[in-house]
Amino acid sequence: MPKAWMGKFLFVDLGSGSSWTQEVPDWMRSKLMGGKAFGAKLLTDLTPAGCDPFAPENPLMIMTGPLTGTSAPSMRGCVVTKSPLTGTFLDSYFGGYFSPEVKYAGYDGIIILGQAQEPVYLWIDDDRVEVRPAAHLWGQDALEANAAVKSELNDETVKILSIGPAGENRVLYSLISCEYNRQAGRGGAGAVMGSKHLKAIAVRGTNTVTIHDPEAFRAAVIQANADLEKSEDVQAMRDGGTAPAVDFANETGLLPSRNFQDGSFEKASNLSDIGQSKHLWLNSAACLGCPIRCSKMGAVRTGKYAGFITDIVEYESAALMGSNLGISDVRAVAHLVKLCDRFGMDSMSTGGVIGFAMEAGERGLLESPDGISLEFGNVQAAEYLIRSIAFVDNDLGKLLAQGVKRAAAALGGDASAFAQHVKGLESPAWGPRGAAGTGLAFMTADRGGCHQRGLPAPLEVTGGEWEGKPVQALAVEGKADMLIQMQNYLAGTDALVKCDFGGFGVQPETYAALLSAATGERHTADEFDRLGERIWNLTRNFNLREGLNPADDTLPKRFMQDPLPSGPNKGHRFSAQDMAFMLKDYYSLRGWDQAGRPTEETLKKVGVQDLPKFEKSS
């Protein structure tokens, strides 16, 4: 076996309580690398077609990459499962310390199947695997459960994934808490964990991740760090994480304001690094092995919500729980996001859901509960909704725990006109009216409304260059080609599994040099694009098999029907013609037919068809 990988998967069947290991086949390593690609292939092969995401057969998988746990900067792990929110492929990435620990315990990935009868947690101590009772932890929030498991195992250094009440209650956008301040946030992996009655996973590993050519690897790490230091984007992340993006998005008209009714917010800087530096931040923190340190740790020290520790309120949460709700007090936003983290629900989707509910309230489609006025700017209403959703203990909570797509369908009327989602996943905090390629990115992202599968917005709105030519924000020509290149490269490097911020600096050649030195196999800078294309066809195939309707490759109606009322993109909306043009171009360049299905020829060309099926041994 080549170095760097650990060579085996750990399988756990919670139904029987049994566990076993299986070798990672050579073809998987050579054709798929790790992370996203392993997850996409395993999900396809292990899941029966049409599987209910809450059925025991839906695997919950934690995947690492070949460089995870080494000194290569800024590697992560990912959770892969079938999403209960979208009914399609879900991959959600997390930094922190957990994924390296999986490798130190001896595994390239953990695959959890079945469903326990009673609440349990999993204790993986190298090759010793125990399914332990967790009835006493059920109902605790994600951080309480983390502390309780550490205390029970009498070791503060074990690494833990946990869910909160939202996951237990199968709120469809529940997250998995990856201590601390890191989350597998999007798409409802926490609800899948809850459906398995699995409260937490604790890991302790004492093996080493070894390298084929340590000297060449050290040289490649020096190069990777030099790449990071050279990048202005990385320097910006080091200074202020993603918080400065609030002001950037506001100035460029991309910031969601009041459920995306507008693209700018009058008090944006209260929520950006300016407001956060003043009211929250104390220190920088990093994930294992990362010199970027994008986390800005701090605390709410004063005011109504005083007395809790908070990480940076990163851009997506600051926008979706702040400007999107008409809330400008950053301490209140930090409070709301912390509630989401503790209860274990995605603060992005939750912000989208609350924005939807506030607009429905203002439009008279949704009745405000006693003493709570559903209107923008009302922090008390937002907090009420977060608690109602997490505990699903009233009708409003039950309605909104399903996400905006289902809630809009249940409400009827014109509610779907302001339900901001793509394929059921609530929109990220980039209103793309004014950035055509960004609209296409959301239309085609493999997990639904997502900004991490290629985000042309910063290039589009700043007049940046792509392949030597200036990018016109509103142009539709060339956008599919640009986006496909971005999607492929990101997917290929999500097999690594790299951090997106590390990817701002580290060059493809350097990733290849790291991999070559680590594994002893020859890797090249261009293979990430090819691997990404393979992955993009794997996930599309899976989604189509699970019933994805290609007509859902579209945008929230608001972006098509409502022109932006202010800002630099005032008056703009997506036209049906623009969308059809870009989508046709996109399908054609992807080698998909007019209905958005990969052709046999394409599947053969990108190497999907020749992949063997992964068979589990028990």
Partner 1 sequence: MTQTLQSAKGLRLIAHFDLCTGCEICQLVCSERLFGGFNPRLAALRIEHRRENLVHEPILCEQCHNPFCQNVCPVQAISLDEDTGARVIDPDTCIGCGLCASYCPRQVIVQDRESGKSVKCDLCNGDPLCVRACPTGALELIVQGGDHA
Burial class (CB in 10 A: 0-12, 13-18, 19+), 412: exposed
| CB-CB neighbours of 513 under 10 Å | 22
- Shortest CB 490 distance to partner 1, Å: 24
- Shortest CB 61 distance to partner 1, Å: 23
- Tell how strand 159-162 and strand 176-178 pair up: antiparallel
- What part of residues 167-186 is at the interface with partner 1 (CB under 8 A)? 180-181
Please give the span between the terminal C-alpha atoms of the chain, in angstroms, as a whole number.
23
- Contact predicate 530/495, CB 8 Å: no
Burial class (CB in 10 A: 0-12, 13-18, 19+), 124: buried
**Between residues 96 and 190, which has the closer beta carbon with respect to partner 1?**
96
CA distances from 524 to 33, 157, 478 (A): 13, 37, 26
Element (H, E) at 92: strand 89-94
**Between residues 72 and 476, which has the closer beta carbon with respect to partner 1?**
72
- Shortest CB 175 distance to partner 1, Å: 16
Binder of partner 1 out of 219, 274, 309, 544 (CB under 8 A)? 309
**Between residues 107 and 180, which has the closer beta carbon with respect to partner 1?**
180
Q: Is 288 in the site for partner 1 (CB under 8 A)?
A: yes
Element (H, E) at 618: none
Binder of partner 1 out of 59, 185, 190, 205 (CB under 8 A)? 205
Burial class (CB in 10 A: 0-12, 13-18, 19+), 520: middle
**Between residues 214 and 364, which has the closer beta carbon with respect to partner 1?**
214
Q: Is 223 in the site for partner 1 (CB under 8 A)?
A: no
- What part of residues 246-285 is at the interface with partner 1 (CB under 8 A)? 282-285
Binder of partner 1 out of 157, 232, 412, 551 (CB under 8 A)? 157
- Shortest CB 203 distance to partner 1, Å: 12
**Between residues 220 and 538, which has the closer beta carbon with respect to partner 1?**
220
Draw the binding track, 128-147, toward partner 1 (x: CB under 8 A; -: no contact).
Answer: ---------------x----
- Shortest CB 163 distance to partner 1, Å: 17
Beta strands of 119-195 (E only): which ranges? Answer: 120-125, 128-133, 159-162, 176-178, 182-184
Q: How far apart are CA 238 and CA 331, in angstroms?
A: 22
Stretch in the footprint of partner 1 (CB under 8 A) among 246-254, 289-297, 445-453, 528-536 = 289-297
- Shortest CB 583 distance to partner 1, Å: 42
Binder of partner 1 out of 295, 328, 541, 602 (CB under 8 A)? 295
- Contact predicate 14/118, CB 8 Å: no
Instruction: List the structure tokens of 372.
Output: 């709570």
- Contact predicate 18/617, CB 8 Å: no
| CB-CB neighbours of 25 under 10 Å | 14
**Between residues 70 and 539, which has the closer beta carbon with respect to partner 1?**
70
Return left, alpha or beta for 547; rule: phi > 0 is left, psi -120 to 50 is alpha, else beta: left
User: With contacts defined by CB under 8 A, how many residues of the chain interact with partner 1?
Assistant: 36
Draw the binding track, 65-104, toward partner 1 (x: CB under 8 A; -: no contact).
Answer: ----xxx-------------------------x--x---x
Q: Is 153 in the site for partner 1 (CB under 8 A)?
A: no
- Shortest CB 153 distance to partner 1, Å: 15
Binder of partner 1 out of 66, 114, 164, 298 (CB under 8 A)? 298
- What part of residues 413-452 is at the interface with partner 1 (CB under 8 A)? none
- What part of residues 345-384 is at the interface with partner 1 (CB under 8 A)? none
Q: How far apart are CA 316 and CA 450, in angstroms?
A: 11
Instruction: List the structure tokens of 249.
Output: 């998005």
In the complex, which residues of this chain contact partner 1 (CB under 8 A)? 69-71, 97, 100, 104, 143, 157, 180-181, 205-211, 214, 225, 282-291, 293, 295, 297-299, 309, 311
